[in-house]
Amino acid sequence: MLEADYVIIGSGSAGSALAYRLSEDGRHSVIVIEYGGSDYGPLIQMPSALSIPLNMSLYDWGFASEPEPHLGGRVLATPRGKVLGGSSSINGMVYVRGHARDFDHWAEQGAAGWAFADVLPYFKRMENVEGGEAGWRGTDGPLHVQRGPRRNPLYAAFVDAGKQAGFELTADYNGSKQEGFGAMEQTIHRGRRWSAANAYLRPAFKRKNVSLVSGFARRVVIENQRATGVEIEARKTIQVVKARREVIVAASAINSPKLLMLSGIGPAAELRRHGIDVVADRPGVGRNLQDHLELYIQQESLQPITLYSVFNPISKALIGAQWLFFKTGLGATNHFEAAAFVRSAAGVDYPDMQYHFIPAAVRYDGKAAANSHGFQAHVGPMRSKSRGAIALRSPDPWAKPEIRFNYMSHPDDWRDFRHAIRLTRDIFGQAAFDPYRGRELSPGSAVQSDDELDAFIRQHAESAYHPCGTCRMGSAADPASVVDPECRVIGVEGLRVADSSIFPRITNGNLNAPSIMTGEKAADHVLGRTPLSPSNQEPWINPRWRESDR
């Protein structure tokens, strides 16, 4: 029988954690619905191959934005994982919790019980961290987190340059002090991608009370304002997977609002336009879409020590063989091994800009950007004021939704990005880079004025692939809220949403960690458990924040 106590739509970061925790005590049955296939292939499990599954229709839903009006009408790719593990199986494996103040802001916006003190115990419960700050990090959770080996001297040069430019250093940006330059953390374990599928789903599937149903979720079945199951399409047949207790949507910031709207939950006028019966008029469904944009600032390296040396078929074959047989070498890292979180200006109390640094000049699609040795920083503002929306293209469940990020629609975003470029030039100009620094490859030294920088941003800003916010969590009395602070869809019984779509505002950094935390915490709400006791630990805030950006 296709029936269980809890039916979870989506096997991604939050869905995997939910499956693991809801089935843990053996008292409840769980079905996970996933349309994508296996994540077993080496292209997913090998960390350095990360740009390949990201661009494969086998593993990615293949979404794209509508033409973005403030980026010259460009259409930006919006990858989401269509595979066991969801986007955690095709992401960059960068592990960032977010800043403490991010979660305090959630609570201030109506997500009561989601302040930093409330979520820190869940981050600690999920983590198994090597070398983290004592007392702030988890050491026996399912999710393995490590630091890269940082053997390339350019990683140290980046951190030293940050210090020379007057910025803080941090020994653990996921500990008490996010602000500063330091080592980047990775969801990699024993040389393999440590996705939510590896951390949570595989152990859960070993239990008798958890099963996987392969199928395409068409809509949530709702009877008398109560969710009773999920209509799926599998092998050209439409069936219903029944939920005795609850349906939990964990299908991504793109697919979760789409599924709610197809099920009659969303802006009433929009639903009626598509001939969908209105079950709950929630105008916030699909609204509040947020993402991180970033630029690649690239510099030529005078020394032949970058990854350009291995951008040839023979080297790639050797790296692949070493990884295949030993799970070591350049194949066993995502190459994001140094990071920074900085504040853009005096008066900003906690970091609002993030750096990823890699010793190569490449793009996410894996193409070498320069026919020479180089290094680059990915940089972008973390708290853009621009907001977009997800809308139905048609009532056909197979139709891709309309995705409008509305990137760069707020004037502050332009100011912040110009500052990001100039600041990166300042960092790359420090003495630590003197032995390595050649010419600037991108944007190029000729690009200097505000107008020139704006033209570069318009043409080259890329998504960091962190969509969120489209089923916003908040007070049940707030008409813009979609779920309440226990992740329950407002106006419908037996239905929750738990993934990055419920974030009231985007967090500081990559979204995999807070998405998994959301699944962890939501599981306790579903089971009616008392949440973990709040922490009394105080995060570090720069005492000079009012006077200086560093």
Burial (CB < 10 A; 0-12, 13-18, 19+), residue 66, is middle
Fold topology of 1-50+80-132+191-287+469-529: FAD/NAD(P)-binding domain (3.50.50)
Under the banding of pLDDT at 50, 70 and 90, the label for residue 362 is: confident
pLDDT digits (tens, 9 = 90+) for 407-437: 999 999 999 999 999 999 999 999 999 999 9
Given a cut of 70, whether residue 365 has pLDDT beyond it is no
The percent of residues in the chain predicted with pLDDT above 70, rounded, is 99
pLDDT at 526: 98
Is position 374 annotated in a ligand binding site? no
Any known ligand binding at 22?
Answer: yes
Six-digit token pair at 259? Answer: 């599924």
29 labeled binding residue: yes
Residue 364: per-residue pLDDT? 64
Classify domain 149-183+293-381+408-460 by CATH architecture: 2-Layer Sandwich (3.30)
User: Phi/psi class of residue 296: alpha, beta or left (left: φ > 0; alpha: ψ in -120 to 50)?
Assistant: beta
The pLDDT of residue 288 is 98
pLDDT band (50, 70, 90) for residue 339: very high
pLDDT at residue 358 tops 90: yes
pLDDT of 388 above 80? yes
Give the mean pLDDT of 306-332. Answer: 96
Which of 70, 144, 189, 466 is labelled catalytic?
466
Please give the angle made by the CA atoms of 180, 186 and 187, to the nearest 5 degrees. Answer: 145
> How far is residue 436's CA from residue 428's CA, in Å, rounded to a whole number?
10
Q: Do domains 1-50+80-132+191-287+469-529 and 149-183+293-381+408-460 have the same CATH topology?
A: no
Answer positive or negative: Cα dihedral of 56, 233, 20, 137.
positive
7 is in an annotated binding site: yes
Q: Is 185 annotated as a binding residue?
A: no
DSSP 8-class letter at 152 = S
Does 279 appear as a known binding residue?
no
State yes or no: pLDDT of 469 exceeds 80.
yes
Residue 363's pLDDT is 73
Instruction: Kindly report, residue by residue over 137-193, the tens digit of the pLDDT.
Output: 999 999 999 999 999 999 999 999 999 999 999 999 999 999 999 999 999 999 999
pLDDT for residue 371? 81
Alpha-carbon torsion angle 33, 37, 41, 47, nearest 10: -50
Residues 105-145 have pLDDT tens digits of 999 999 999 999 999 999 999 999 988 999 999 999 999 99
Identity of residue 167: F
Check: CB of residue 294 under 8 Å from CB of residue 379. yes
Question: For residue 125, how many other CB atoms are within 10 A of its CB?
Answer: 19
d(CA 160, CA 158): 5
Q: 3-class DSSP state for residue 247? A: strand
Q: What is the pLDDT of residue 366?
A: 60
C-alpha of 97 from chain center? 10
Cα 203 from Cα 197, distance rounded (Å):
9
Q: What is the mean pLDDT of residues 507-520?
A: 98
For the chain, what are the domain ranges? 1-50+80-132+191-287+469-529, 149-183+293-381+408-460
Q: Is 466 a catalytic residue?
A: yes
CB 381 within 8 A of CB 353: yes
> What's the rounded Cα separation, in Å, for the pair 538 and 544?
17
Q: pLDDT-based confidence at 367, cuts 50/70/90?
A: low
Q: Is 16 annotated as a binding residue?
A: yes
Quote the tokens at residue 489: 């869809």
* Rounded average pLDDT over 278-290: 98
